[in-house]
Structure 1
């Protein structure tokens, strides 16, 4: 222990005498360690930290797959859910749920809440027990007995100040009384964003066989002990075949039962991107370690005389290695501490950048595992960049050093090590830059995609009508007309429209039937995306009419139902161009036959980076709906200026209807590609950092080489060599190192591109322009980094150089 304390005190004195070196080394390590810790915190919260459910690996998402049409992961009907629940050979429990919106009244300001209607088996299937109160019962799955709710911990804290007396309290939800029977533990919220839960009480009609295609339920299940996911999939395939024999309607469309890990369902498609970013930021740390190792090698060469004297006084090689490692570990720990501060800031920045597009964002924090990761990375970095320089420094030639002639020995083994480190830095920097280039080009292609609507100048907002006050289509229609009239009269408003769902958000799909047409035995019709809209909504959004007419005020209650369809729908089912006048009906209880009165151009209302899907725009006045969204186009193109007027107009119509989610439509577009934007931004940041560190490392190695070869340069110039000859000599050394790094990096980048192929949009993973552009950029930066010390070499005075030696 005393020896360690001596080494520590000596390391502190030594590093204190070289503040410039210490500062550069600590900052380089802080950047690498801080970036790693920030990204690891996100990966830990989203991917590594298990969800707060019992045995989460046994929880499955159960859905409908229609493989022949590429339709997978579709919702289930009540009939199908009950079929899943009758599979005891596969599942120990099955549950279903559907989400909705409600308005909490009876408080100072009406509050919008997201509610999930769940079966009594929902929380037992998840393996969750209430923190307060009780769970739902089977009796509460029937209409009239379902007026109970369970609160999430967040709702309990936010709206009820964690009052334990909330149990038994009556809440007014959409004007109806509900009794609070339970509060969930902290952190238990599924699906994300849920505020409270109430029992799912389906009507007898929804449970009938002819409503098999009315799919709106999400189903989860817990595998029986000893049943693997693969075994369950095999059993479910047999069940699908048996159901197809006993239920002819089931067989239509070649439906099978799909299984997916609930953890994968929650995480979505960000898993690959997050692991890739963690690997990329690891490369940044390697480049940083290479830079510090190069600094230590150069510093060790300058300390050869000191090391030789200590060896002459009896210090063994192990003692010398321990001293140098102590200095390295001290640097890494200080860099790690500063990196931890950067990680705390960086994690908040990452979450702010990604917005709501990151699943499980609430679970991201610098917890104990993140702190241990930071500490481990710091120690490992200290060993990684300190061991080789320590071993190299402990091999000092005693006789040469004591004679003061160490220059030759320094240029041998340590020079090759420094050159090798620079080659590695350049290679890793190129790998990161290729990734940044591919992600950046992919994002640019995505940003150039025409969404089919005009988001600029449009303000959006959402509202939910209380069920007791607006329980009929007539009352809903009266509210809509009055609010639309007031909004249209606001200064600066060009047009206003209602819809059930805004673009690039949630989706609502239904099966459908076409009048006079039957499906073939192997024919599958993809579900249609449903939008209910007011007459001015297409004009407000900027949809382009292709044929026919738009919806009108006359398409209201009592009139024959009308529908607009998009080009993809029309071309897919009426390729001869005779879609106008055809009739279709949605597979939902309240649907009637609707006549196609118009065809609009495709709009990417579902997703910017996914193929077009069939869309149907029904009249809101005919189909009805209490959950509404507003789109308001500003004449001046400044949608935010309309916010106050919209809120005032709603208060004038009904003070008990909350307005929420107010945002420009451009923000919704940006948030829909938030994960891709974040990936491109971080890869660009990582690549730029690695490029800076690699160029500094290259400049340092060439500069040190020039300093060591000052006498050689003087002799060359004394014998008649021109300054240009010296310049070319030094540049050749730098270009050689950079060229080797670029070649190695290109080889590594081919492997990276293979991993990226599923994460890109509109760009091939082996895009030659990206590879060539990055190689050219890195070569140019390397040439500049070499030119600076080479230019200094041409200014060497031969007489002074020879006299100094």
Structure 2
């Protein structure tokens, strides 16, 4: 058995070497499909399929509040405390809040991920420090945990943590432990500070905490969700309008982490699967053409006793060899693609650090390649045996088998074209959706401005607040003095950046002891007087912040137009008064002095509920993490060096992140752009393969029918009629492919609905555009074979 297999492999390798062009083209086609499929499956495997790297991760859930409109929100502290006390199906709950900020220790400051976390954080994730101890132990003072990377890079990997401390969020805490090197939660976190270090909030409308929890062993997810819903309803009854929740929602933590990315990745995987099928179809077509061109060789081998079984085995061996070759090239391509993509994916995909060509992926690649190769080989073997039978029966004439093989190849071309149409429509829908997204007015001017993100004085209290105001005033003045700078302003959360806070706001006379009904829900921003001009935002009514709006003066606010219209319909918003409840310990009433145009704060795809802007001078505690926007009179690159120099001189010890407002905007739509670009690549490759497949078939058909064409022309048919006849044959094939493809697209594109913005899954413009493109490409693919057919000389062909 083994010697026979080795003999077949040697014969197959020699045969493929003799037909080098065919072999290389086949391997290239397969490598495109296999490489793209491997890379895409590796992404899906890492992000969607693999369990989270925590003990018994299937028992972990994310907890959110759900309001009357179905909007899911982080938890307010009192609601979290009540849920912890009442829910018997959760063994532990841990809150966390934070993000990228300045972290200082050992005379070194860096901007990195830092979070305040609850005392049950380690218990929920069932992880322990590799050095030192955890925090949250009864009777101990609040402490901080650092990541293995931070311990090594920022602390110098000390063997003893005694006397070490770290500062962030206006807190300085002793470092009590170092987490395992592989541990990460949330993504990007390098510091975890004990939330007991800050005073608890008593507001049920200040949604400050993201929460994870662990289900008890005997409790199902459904039962835990039912109990959480009941607790939420009970809190609503007990506290009335003091709470804006209707229920608590529990979501599997892995599903919560991948969020909307899940749909996009499955659609992309389906797209690359179609591409692999198109590549396999293309190679099958090449094999069938080879079977006909080798009819004499196959007939001779059969006559010499090789037998149909051994000849069929030879076709299978050759296809497997080509498949393995294509897989090896595809593996290399997938490895290179992931190497290039992984660093970029960190900001696009959750769990991007886990991207790799794992053994699971390699095993699937091997099995898939063998199955595809066997299928190609068996189809080719069946055609080869027909060629042999026809050759022996007709004395070497091949008209009947040629027609039979041509019909099979026509079917493959139709299948290839149909799958290509589906990919083109998918890419077209994403392109149309992206164009609609770009047409959305974000409410600010992204171009022409630089951004500087920094964290200021980490000392809390009145002294720290005064230093924050002093530092920001000085920085803004120095930046505004740079030649070529048009405006300078800042905020604690730039639009579309994910920063900033939100919550419910109330009437000025709200008595929080009586559970007042909130006026609404809004984004809350602290900003400087120059913020509107620096952002390119419009002041619609009233006035901006003024120099008189200092600490101690009546607190003022600007509100967005949508908030003004929904809160005070038919009334003048100027002079209205509101309060945000006990945010930052402040209960001051805010006097509305201006109305500004709406801005997309959280997402370009949907409108926000509105925004309230407060002067940072009157709320400096919220301005410690601040982003300054510097707008130039021309190209922002012309002032970049000067801006950096000002920061280097004025704040040399502060880690600063420089960017541009255009980058912030582009980053907010980066996932949509990624899906569009990748799907478009699949569609272009598929279209290329389909066009070459159609060209090859038409060239083969015209070669087979040279005699018939010569007779037609000898009987008076003009070259123009021959040209039209050939083109009509190709167009007829692609019309069939188009009909099948459009039918498939109508059935499948609805699965893309969640990825589309302002575009219907059955968008007629996209379907019509793809149909026109297919017809144009069909004519182009058939043109050269048609021209050759029209130039056939009856004298030369018929002798």
Specify the TM-score bucket, using the shorter chain as the normaliser. over 0.9
Q: Contact 1:150–1:197 (CA<8 Å) still a contact in 2? A: yes
Q: Secondary structure of 2:102's partner? A: strand
Give the aligned partner of residue 210 of structure 2. 218
- 1:536 pairs with 503, 511, 530, which one? 530
> Cα distance, 1:360 vs. partner?
1.9
1:360-399 matches, within 5 Å, as 360-398=351-389
Give the aligned partner of residue 22 of structure 2. 21
* C-alpha RMSD of the superposition: 2.4
Q: Contact 2:506–2:520 (CA<8 Å) still a contact in 1? A: no
Q: Deviations over 1:70-108 (max 9, x none)?
A: 422x11122111112123532121111111555344557
Q: Is residue 655 of structure 1 aligned with residue 649 of structure 2?
A: no
**CA shift in 2, pair 1:713/1:124, >3 Å:** same
* C-alpha separation in 1, matches of 2:105 and 2:120: 31
Q: Secondary structure of 2:39's partner? A: helix
> Cα distance, 1:685 vs. partner?
1.1
1:275-294 matches, within 5 Å, as 275-294=266-285
* C-alpha separation in 1, matches of 2:96 and 2:346: 26
* C-alpha separation in 2, matches of 1:288 and 1:399: 29
> Cα distance, 1:771 vs. partner?
0.2
- 1:717 pairs with 705, 713, 717, which one? 713
> Cα distance, 1:637 vs. partner?
2.2
**CA shift in 2, pair 1:182/1:402, >3 Å:** farther
Q: Deviations over 1:772-800 (max 9, x none)?
A: 11011011111221122111111112232
- 1:473 pairs with 450, 465, 470, which one? 465
Q: Is residue 558 of structure 1 aligned with residue 552 of structure 2?
A: yes
> Cα distance, 1:741 vs. partner?
0.2
Q: Contact 1:131–1:184 (CA<8 Å) still a contact in 2? A: yes
Give the aligned partner of residue 547 of structure 1. 541
Q: Is residue 446 of structure 1 aligned with residue 437 of structure 2?
A: yes
Give the aligned partner of residue 511 of structure 1. 504
1:293-692 matches, within 5 Å, as 293-351=284-342, 356-398=347-389, 400-401=391-392, 405-468=396-459, 471-506=463-498, 507-516=500-509, 526-587=520-581, 588=583, 589-624=585-620, 625-638=623-636, 640-660=637-657, 662-692=658-688
Give the aligned partner of residue 155 of structure 1. 150
> Cα distance, 1:352 vs. partner?
5.6
Q: Secondary structure of 1:494's partner? A: strand
Q: Contact 2:295–2:391 (CA<8 Å) still a contact in 1? A: no
Q: Is residue 199 of structure 1 aligned with residue 194 of structure 2?
A: yes
**CA shift in 2, pair 1:667/1:52, >3 Å:** same
Q: Contact 1:397–1:409 (CA<8 Å) still a contact in 2? A: no
**CA shift in 2, pair 1:324/1:104, >3 Å:** same
> Cα distance, 1:127 vs. partner?
2.3
Q: Secondary structure of 1:8's partner? A: helix
Q: Contact 2:549–2:555 (CA<8 Å) still a contact in 1? A: yes
Q: Contact 1:65–1:257 (CA<8 Å) still a contact in 2? A: yes
**CA shift in 2, pair 1:179/1:109, >3 Å:** closer
Q: Contact 1:455–1:541 (CA<8 Å) still a contact in 2? A: yes
Instruction: Please identify runs of 4+ aligned residues in structure 1 that moved more than 6 A.
Output: 517-524
Q: Contact 1:170–1:177 (CA<8 Å) still a contact in 2? A: no
* C-alpha separation in 1, matches of 2:496 and 2:714: 72
Q: Secondary structure of 1:356's partner? A: coil
**CA shift in 2, pair 1:176/1:777, >3 Å:** closer
Q: Secondary structure of 1:604's partner? A: coil
1:131-146 matches, within 5 Å, as 131-139=130-138, 145-146=141-142
* C-alpha separation in 2, matches of 1:224 and 1:172: 35
> Cα distance, 1:725 vs. partner?
2.5
Q: Contact 1:354–1:678 (CA<8 Å) still a contact in 2? A: no
Number of aligned residues: 790
Q: Secondary structure of 2:208's partner? A: coil
* C-alpha separation in 2, matches of 1:783 and 1:193: 52
Q: Secondary structure of 1:511's partner? A: strand
* C-alpha separation in 1, matches of 2:535 and 2:172: 38
**CA shift in 2, pair 1:394/1:184, >3 Å:** farther
* C-alpha separation in 2, matches of 1:459 and 1:204: 36
Q: Contact 1:91–1:223 (CA<8 Å) still a contact in 2? A: yes
Q: Is residue 117 of structure 1 aligned with residue 125 of structure 2?
A: no
* C-alpha separation in 2, matches of 1:643 and 1:373: 49
With 348-357 and 150-159 compared, the bigger mean Cα shift is at 348-357
Q: Secondary structure of 2:609's partner? A: coil
Q: Contact 2:526–2:616 (CA<8 Å) still a contact in 1? A: yes
Q: Deviations over 1:652-704 (max 9, x none)?
A: 333332212x1111011111101101111111111111111111111111110
> Cα distance, 1:379 vs. partner?
2.1
Q: Deviations over 1:286-341 (max 9, x none)?
A: 11111110000000111122222222222233222221111101111111111112
* C-alpha separation in 2, matches of 1:84 and 1:91: 9
* C-alpha separation in 2, matches of 1:518 and 1:739: 71
Give the aligned partner of residue 94 of structure 1. 93
* C-alpha separation in 2, matches of 1:106 and 1:609: 40
Q: Contact 2:527–2:615 (CA<8 Å) still a contact in 1? A: yes
With 220-229 and 745-754 compared, the bigger mean Cα shift is at 220-229
1:245-284 matches, within 5 Å, as 245-249=237-241, 253=244, 255-284=246-275
**TM-score using structure 1 length:** 0.94
- 1:183 pairs with 168, 174, 178, which one? 178
* C-alpha separation in 1, matches of 2:670 and 2:258: 15
With 553-562 and 119-128 compared, the bigger mean Cα shift is at 119-128
**CA shift in 2, pair 1:522/1:619, >3 Å:** closer
**CA shift in 2, pair 1:253/1:112, >3 Å:** closer
* C-alpha separation in 2, matches of 1:631 and 1:590: 27
Q: Contact 2:506–2:518 (CA<8 Å) still a contact in 1? A: no
> Cα distance, 1:177 vs. partner?
5.3
* C-alpha separation in 2, matches of 1:664 and 1:705: 58
> Cα distance, 1:166 vs. partner?
5.4
Q: Secondary structure of 2:188's partner? A: coil
With 227-236 and 15-24 compared, the bigger mean Cα shift is at 227-236
Unaligned runs of 5+ in 1: none
> Cα distance, 1:153 vs. partner?
3.1
**CA shift in 2, pair 1:396/1:113, >3 Å:** closer
